[in-house]
Amino acid sequence: MRGLVLTGPVAIGDHKIMIIGVAGRNGAGKGEFVQFLETRSYSVFSLSDAIRKELADRGLEESRELMIETGQEMRRKAGPGALAQRLARQLLPDRNYAIDSIRHPVEVEILRQHAGATGHVFHLVWVDAKLETRFDRMVKRGRSGDPATVADLERLEVRERGSDDPNAQQLDAVEAEADFRLANDDTLQGFQDQIQTWVRANLAFDRPGWDDYFMNIARVVASRSNCVKRKVAAVVTLDKRIISTGYNGTPRGTTNCNEGGCPRCNDLAPGGTRLDECLCSHAEENSITQAAYHGVSLKGGTIYTTFSPCLQCTKMIINAGLIEVIYQSDYPLGDVSLALLREAGIKTRQIGI
C-alpha cells in the first residue's frame, strides 16, 4: 500500500482544535508521525509513558515484554481505560495534541469522549507498513527487547492483536476504530509528505465570532461571582477591546454573599421578593462602576451580559452612554427594561447559549 488512504470524510472549515490519536503495529512509524507533529507545535503524549514510569519506580529496565505485562497489570487494577483516563486529566482545551501508543478500544472511547467535552475533534490515525519493512526498522533502531527475527516479531504481535483478557492489548479492535490510515512503506520524506498532506486537509477549525468570543469570556467572568443564587457576568467592549468586566456579588470590602453576606440570597428568597434586603450588586452595575472607579469611559461601548439587565442596571447602561446590549438569557421581569433600552435608542440582541 502506497500513498495516503483516507477511510473517513475530510471536511474543510468545520474542525476545531484536534486530538490526534496515533496507533499501529511495531515499527510502523507511529513515533515518526508524532515527532513530525511535535516539531510543528503539537503537544505530544504517549500512553506508554505511565507504564515506563511504573517500571522506573520499580527499578526495572524497560523491555517490550515488561511493558506489555505491566500495562496489563495496570489495566487489571484500574480498568482497561486506566492509561487514557490518567492522560486525559492532563489535556487542556486550547492545545492541539498527538497521542501515541493507543492499544485498546476503550482508550479510543475515552479520548473521543474527552475531546467532545473539551471542544476538540478527535481523529484516530492508524499507521501501517509491511512486516519485513517494520522488522528492518526495528533492527536499525536497536532498541532493547525488540524481536531478533521476523518470526519472533510475528509471535509477539499475535499477543498484541487481541485476547480474551479484556485488559490485554487489542490492536485489531483499535485498527477497526481508525478514522484514517497512513501507509509507511516508502522513504521517510515520503511519509512526512503524507503527514503534511493529511494535517493540512484536517487542520481547519472554526474561530468564534466576536459575539461568541466576548460571551464566552463573560461566562468565565461569571465563575468569579460570590452570589449563592445566580452567577451573572457582564463584559463591556469598545472597538473589539474589553474595557471593563463585572460579576454579581456583595460590595467591595464587605462579607461575600456565599459567606453569609446577603440575607436575602442566603434565605433563598423567591424571585422578585425582599429586593430591599438584597446587598448584592448586579454584574452590569459592577462593570459600569468598575470603569468609573478606574476612570474609563464607556461611551459608545457594547455590553455583553449573561442575563438581560434589570431595570436599575438598564438605567445605568443608558446613562453610561453604552449603545448596545447583547445578552444570553432573559432576566425575570425584564420586559420593561428591554422596552426602555429600545426607547433610549440602544440596540438589543439576544444570542444563543
Backbone angles phi, psi at 71, to 5 degrees: -60, -40
Nearest to 337 by CA among 264, 328, 278, 346: 346
Cell 477591546 locates to 241
Distance CA(201)–CA(182), nearest Å, equals 14
Strand 302-307 to 233-238 pairing: antiparallel
**Contacts of residue 11, Cβ cutoff 8 Å, sequence gap at least 6:** none
Contact 20, 117 (CB under 8 A): no
* Residues known to be catalytic: 284
Cβ–Cβ < 8 Å for 183, 198:
no
Of 11, 154, 170, nearest in space to 80 by CA: 170
Q: Which of 139, 127, 241 is nearest to 178 (CA)?
A: 127
CA pair distance 246, 232, nearest whole angstrom:
9
